[in-house]
Amino acid sequence: MKDIDKLLKRNRTYRDLTERLGSTGLAVSGLIGLLFLGVLVWQIAEPTFISGEEGEIPAASESIPVTDYILKWDFANVDSETGELTTEPIILRLTWEDGGGEQSHDLQVNIIEEKGVTKDVSITSDGLDSEILEIGRKTKFYLYSNLDVIVEVEQISGPVPSADSNGYPVVDSFVVSGDIHILSDDDGELVFQPLELVGYAVLFLLIIVMTWPKVGALNALSSLQPYRRFIRPVFYTISGMTLAISQGMFVAAALGAVCWALSGVMLNRILEGMERLQNIGRELSETSRLKHSISNRDGLLMWSRMLFVTSTIFIPLLIDIPFLTERYQDIFVPYASGIRAAFFGTIWVMLIAMIVSIPISVGAAIYLEEYAKPNQMTKLIQALVTNLAGVPSIVFGMFGLAIFVKQGGIGWGLGPSVLAAGLTMGVMAMPIIVLAGQEALRSVPRSLRESAYGVGCTRWQVTKDHVLPSAMPGIMTGSILAMSRIMGEAAPLVVVGATAMILFDPEPLAALSGGNAEFTVIPIQIYFWTQEADPAWHSMAAAASIALICLLVAMNSIAIVLRQHFRRRLNS
């Protein structure tokens, strides 16, 4: 017996050591992964910060007695009528070292509207022959040096040479400009419609009441009990009115309308819970019981909080980022370009892909796991789905070209359109979601199914009410991975017909309505910008990459919130 005790102790020690090493290895691997991710994000973001003009003038010699440096600004920063600067002053700092130590001289460059006006600067041991220049836009001028040392040239303020007519970007600034207005813009005009803001405020108050119910607030709401059956119709009517008076601000109006509609549902559920609590002889002061009396309280809070956060961006705030929402690509001026067309194209392609892929894929996973018999046909389908998950994306592009784009045969004839692109990307996402859905359904304990069958549930009731809710966190994870993959794909969309440049917003149903079907997406815009020789385009491509990452994070955040909600409801 003593030998057995020693053996067990020795095995337990080895097991504990193995567990510690495993957990430590996982933690170190996670930290290394985060480090590499941080380095990657920094490498992407670093080119988006503009340092302005910088370089050096080579040292003069006997064979080359005068060396030069060429400069040119594309846009004026001096008002042609008043002669005043419209931007920060353009200051170049010229530094060199000679026998007397380091010398530093600042040169101010004023750019006027008239072309062809130029003046050069000579650098000698005594300094600069001019400290302020007046140069025409798109006009070259030279810095000449006869020094036998290298002269460093660095811009320390003002718009960079390729900046657009608004003076952006300036030195040491982010390549993408933006502004945030709260309630009103610079002209004093409201950035919202009154009904939108009221709906937003009502939703906020109801979230507070439902999250932390207080007796005073509940007593105030109890006066609405006689009119409870009118609450939803009234709120839905106000919701429709909010949409009707949108005045072109469709996103804010739509969010305001949803705020009103969801507020009506929440208020009705709170009143129902209060009535239910009072019917069993309880007081409103028993707020812990009230929380359990409100039907689907957790779900309502989840959706209302997500709606509140989203509405905050569009209703009381006006986030003005021309790079995303106003500017199209400018083939001549990189910093005046934007990704408006590509941004909306990406949104539409993703929405169509999600609408197409997720319901069909989840249904296929349910059929294969819960209904299909394990015969040869099922095994063949399973093998095909597994193999499709590893097919290169370009193959799906060829499939989309043959089925959705081309006319004739089995082709649908949708042409190179957003709809064809969305369907193609949806097909590409399907195998990933199906496999993830199957794994999630397999993870549901068999005892749960048997218990449901034991109380008389049908197969569909077992699947819908017991198996699917338990598997939903895993299904959401698969959907997140699939959407993340297709959001960054460019190869299939190039095959389907996405263009490098369009100067209008893409129309999602243009293939059916006969409108202009051309479109582009952010990955393709990034690819073509990186092929340009001008480094300014590379900065714009980096900014577009940051926008794509932010869009991906936003979409994944929503999916993660939904997944955590289902997981929490499953554990409760």
- The model's pTM is 0.81
Of 307, 441, 420, 298, nearest to 365 by C-alpha is 441
Q: Which pLDDT band holds residue 2 (cuts at 50, 70, 90)?
A: low
- What burial class does residue 359 get, using C-beta atoms within 10 Å of its C-beta: 0-12 exposed, 13-18 middle, 19+ buried? exposed
The closest of 498, 478, 504, 479 to 422, measured between CA atoms, is 498
- Between the alpha carbon of residue 263 and those of residues 7, 292, 308, 563, the distances in Å are 65, 19, 11, 23
Does residue 313 sit within a domain? Answer: yes
pLDDT in tens, 63-74: 899 999 999 998
Considering only CA atoms, which of 551, 567, 560 is closest in space to residue 440? 567
533 occurs within a structural domain? yes
The pLDDT score that the predictor gives to residue 260 is 95
* Domain assignment of residue 407, yes or no: yes
Among 126, 146, 171, the domain boundary falls at 171
Residue 481 pLDDT grade (very low, low, confident, very high; cuts 50, 70, 90): confident
252, 167: one domain: no
Give the alpha-carbon dihedral of 253, 256, 260, 262, to 10 degrees.
110
Range of the domain at 422: 338-571
User: Is the C-alpha dihedral spanning 306, 277, 272, 225 positive or negative?
Assistant: negative
- Compute the average pLDDT of residues 429-442: 92
Instruction: Please indicate, yes or no, whether residues 117 and 21 belong to a single structural domain of this protein.
Output: no
Co-location of 558 and 421 in the same domain: yes
Categorize the per-residue pLDDT at 283 as very low, low, confident or very high, splitting at 50, 70 and 90: confident
Return the amino acid letter for 495.
Answer: V
Query: Which of 505, 503, 344, 507 is CA-nearest to residue 417?
Result: 507
- 3-class secondary-structure state, position 522: helix
pLDDT tier at 359, thresholds 50, 70, 90? very high
Provide the pLDDT confidence category of residue 342 given band limits of 50, 70 and 90: very high
| Residues 296, 300, 306: CA angle, nearest 5 degrees | 150
In the predicted model, is pLDDT for residue 241 greater than 70? yes
Task: For residues 475 and 538, state if they share a domain.
Answer: yes
Q: What is the pLDDT of residue 543?
A: 92
Is the pLDDT at 170 greater than 70, yes or no? yes
End position of a domain, from candidates 270, 288, 320: 320
287 belongs to a structural domain:
yes
Whether residue 486 sits in one domain with residue 564: yes
Ramachandran bin of 415, using left for φ above 0, alpha for ψ from -120 to 50, beta for the remaining angles: left
What Å distances lie between residue 116 and 81, 107, 162, 410, 521, CA to CA?
Answer: 18, 20, 17, 61, 39
Q: Are residues 234 and 158 in the same domain?
A: no
| Three state DSSP letters for 438-464 | HHHHHCCCHHHHHHHHHCCCCHHHHHH
Instruction: Mark whether 159 and 275 lie in a shared domain.
Output: no
103 and 136 both lie in a single domain: yes
> Do 424 and 503 lie in a common domain?
yes
Task: Give yes or no for residue 232 having a pLDDT over 90.
Answer: yes
> Are both 451 and 507 inside the same structural domain?
yes
Average pLDDT, the chain: 87
Tell me the CB-side half-sphere exposure of residue 511, using CA atoms within 13 A: 20
pLDDT tens digits, one per residue of 5-29: 555 555 567 777 878 888 888 889 9
Q: What CATH number does the domain containing 517 carry?
A: 1.10.3720.10
Q: Indicate the number of domains in the chain.
A: 4
DSSP category for residue 123: E
Do the domain assignments include residue 177? Answer: no
Burial code (b: 16+ CB inside 10 Å, e: under 16) for 516-542 equals ebbbbbbbbbbebbeeeeeebbbbbbb
534 within some domain: yes
Q: What is the mean pLDDT of residues 337-355?
A: 92
Q: What is the tens place of the pLDDT at every residue in 531-566?
A: 888 888 998 999 999 999 888 888 888 877 877 777
pLDDT tens per residue, range 385-401: 999 988 899 999 999 99
Q: Are residues 149 and 282 in the same domain?
A: no
pLDDT given for residue 51 in this prediction: 84
Instruction: Confirm whether 332 is domain-assigned.
Output: no
Nearest CA to 236 out of 260, 272, 202, 201 is that of 260
**350 shares its domain with 258:** no
Over residues 235-259, mean pLDDT:
87
159 - beta bridge partners?
170
Residues of the chain with pLDDT > 90, as a percent, come to: 39
Mean pLDDT for the stretch of residues 187-197:
82
At 430, phi and psi to the nearest 5?
-55, -50
Q: Is 554 part of any domain?
A: yes
| The pLDDT of residue 231 | 93
121-124 and 141-145: which strand pairing? parallel
Which sign, positive or negative, has the C-alpha torsion 442, 444, 445, 449?
negative
Query: Which backbone phi and psi does 124 adopt, to 5 degrees?
Result: -125, 180
